[in-house]
């Protein structure tokens, strides 16, 4: 037990000895481990197991302690060694064993301690092997965990890229669908309008509903015919392919051709309808002679609805209006001589609201923005059943006809004509901010209509901004 206590002191000396912590000791390997690290394992094993799992003789303990002294301090220097007592027999034996090691280096002393302990205790090498396996397993698990994290990051990145690609594809298809449907609607508007006037004479609201239904049915029928035509062309291309080639390059070519043909037919139809629309607008301008064709408005949405409401309530917007159930609020915005384009933004709390934009031609009586509230959408100050509505570039009304202008001119009296820029539709403005812009078509007053007439019980809180730019 005296030898064991002395070993503990030697280990403490080893841990603070600067001479041992050199670069060479980390490069020398033994049993596939750095010598210094293996020596620490050996000292720990000897301290823990001595007198328990292993029982060594007095001479063997002296040799092991001598190796630890040599590894910690180097060769014995009797001039620097403290004096021993007269009756310190064990101390004398330790010094003799240490002195017998001669001038071997500290690294050689470490290796000698390991070899002697391995020879005296067969359990030491399996103990080291177990430690090595444990370290290797931890390293393997760490490497595997790193690989899994890398793979997960790569998979997440690929998923996000695929999701963006799908969203872009959906947006592109939706844009093409809308362009095609708009072109078809403008092409068939006059025919459907005549039919709607026969079905619902004197009722423009029911006429507009019927026209939209007919236009939607016409669009779906057109797409069915287009898909049937593409399928026919695909079958023809597939039939012309070489039978010996099977379904390798021919099938792929036919599929690509079918998809390209659908896109080309869609783009061609859209282009032809756009040319027809432009010609129809020019004809309308020549017939009316008084008012230019109104260009379509731009509309978009913004996600920062909370920030928008805070800005409006803080006085950075035009204001907050309570639109009661059954009411329609009309915000009248005159054109400004210093502006060329009107912008608007609006949002609501909790529920949607109808929104549309009209334009009243003629010099505005004031330059101030005003708010008017009526109990229905048919405000006396805007549109009456017998009042003329110039619907240039509008899917709900179609271009102006000169015969209609002449026949209704006497009924208008002193009222200014009104054009529909955006028909009134319900907007999900309680979820995001709706914004839009429109270039001035001329001198007049914009009528921004917020319609809650369809609601029987719920009032709506409206936040809005209007401004112009040069």
Contacts of 420 (CB under 8 A, 6+ apart): 356, 357, 358, 389, 391, 394, 396, 397
Backbone angles phi, psi at 418, to 5 degrees: -125, 130
Tens-digit pLDDT profile for the chain (470 aa)?
334 444 444 444 444 344 444 555 566 888 878 888 889 989 988 888 877 777 888 888 888 999 999 899 889 888 888 888 888 888 888 888 898 998 899 999 999 999 998 888 888 889 898 988 998 899 999 999 999 999 999 999 999 999 999 999 999 999 998 999 899 898 888 888 888 888 888 999 988 998 988 888 888 888 888 888 888 888 888 776 655 544 443 333 333 444 444 444 444 444 444 444 433 443 444 444 455 678 888 889 988 899 999 989 988 667 899 999 999 999 999 998 888 899 999 999 989 999 999 999 998 888 889 999 887 544 444 444 444 444 444 433 444 444 444 444 444 445 789 999 999 999 999 999 999 999 999 999 999 999 999 988 899 999 999 988 87
- Per-residue pLDDT, 3: 42
Contacts of 200 (CB under 8 A, 6+ apart): 206, 207, 210
- Per-residue pLDDT, 217: 84
Distance of alpha carbon 74 from alpha carbon 459, whole angstroms: 94
Contacts of 404 (CB under 8 A, 6+ apart): 388
Nearest Cα neighbor of 462 from 451, 446, 470, 447 is: 451
- Per-residue pLDDT, 232: 84
Distance of CA 291 to the CA centre of its chain: 45
- Per-residue pLDDT, 224: 85
Distance of alpha carbon 281 from alpha carbon 21, whole angstroms: 91
- Per-residue pLDDT, 236: 82
Q: Tokens standing for 393?
A: 């570039």
> Angle of helix 106-120 relative to helix 124-199, nearest 10 degrees?
100
Backbone angles phi, psi at 417, to 5 degrees: -65, 150
pTM confidence score: 0.37
Distance of alpha carbon 240 from alpha carbon 247, whole angstroms: 12
């Amino acid at each position: 037990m005296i030898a064991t206590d002395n070993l503990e002191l030697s280990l403490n000396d080893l841990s603070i000895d600067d001479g041992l912590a050199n670069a060479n000791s980390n490069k020398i390997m033994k049993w596939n481990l750095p010598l210094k690290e293996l020596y620490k394992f050996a000292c720990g094993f000897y301290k823990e197991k001595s007198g328990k799992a292993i029982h060594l003789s007095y001479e063997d303990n002296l040799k092991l302690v001598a190796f630890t002294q040599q590894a910690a301090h180097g060769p014995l220097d009797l001039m620097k060694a403290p004096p021993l007592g007269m009756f310190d027999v064990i101390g004398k034996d330790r010094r003799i064993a240490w002195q017998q090691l001669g001038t071997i280096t500290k690294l050689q002393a470490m290796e000698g301690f390991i070899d002697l302990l391995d020879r005296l205790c067969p359990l030491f090498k399996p103990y080291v092997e177990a430690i090595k396996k444990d370290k290797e397993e931890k390293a393997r698990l760490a490497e595997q965990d790193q690989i899994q994290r890398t793979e997960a990051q790569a998979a997440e990145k690929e998923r996000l890229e695929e999701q963006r690609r799908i969203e872009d594809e959906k947006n592109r298809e939706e844009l093409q669908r809308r362009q095609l449907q708009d072109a078809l609607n403008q092409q068939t508007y006059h025919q459907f309008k005549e039919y709607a006037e026969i079905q619902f004479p004197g009722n423009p609201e029911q006429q507009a509903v019927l026209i939209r239904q007919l236009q939607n049915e016409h669009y779906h029928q057109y797409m069915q015919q287009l898909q049937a035509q593409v399928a026919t062309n695909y079958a023809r291309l597939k039939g012309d392919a070489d039978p010996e080639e099977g379904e390798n390059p021919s099938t792929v070519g036919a599929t690509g051709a079918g998809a390209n043909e659908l896109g080309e037919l869609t783009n061609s139809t859209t282009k032809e309808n756009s040319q027809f629309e432009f010609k129809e607008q020019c004809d309308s301008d020549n017939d009316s002679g008084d008012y230019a064709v109104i260009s379509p408005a731009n509309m978009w949405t913004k996600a920062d609805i909370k920030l928008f409401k805070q800005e409006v309530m803080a006085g950075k917007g035009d204001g907050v209006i309570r639109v009661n159930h059954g009411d329609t609020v009309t915000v009248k915005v005159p054109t400004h001589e210093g502006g060329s384009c009107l912008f608007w933004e609006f949002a609501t709390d909790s529920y949607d609201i109808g929104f549309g934009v009209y334009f009243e031609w003629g010099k505005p009586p004031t330059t101030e923005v005003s708010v008017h509230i009526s109990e229905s959408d048919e405000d006396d100050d805007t549109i009456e059943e017998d009042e003329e509505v110039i619907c240039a570039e509008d899917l709900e009304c179609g271009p102006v006809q000169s015969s209609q202008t002449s026949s209704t001119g006497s009924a208008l009296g002193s009222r200014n004509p009104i054009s529909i820029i955006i028909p009134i539709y319900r907007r999900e403005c309680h979820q995001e901010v709706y914004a839009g812009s429109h270039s001035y078509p001329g001198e007049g007053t914009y009528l921004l209509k917020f319609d809650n007439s369809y609601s029987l019980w719920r009032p709506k809180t409206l936040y809005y901004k209007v401004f112009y730019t040069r």
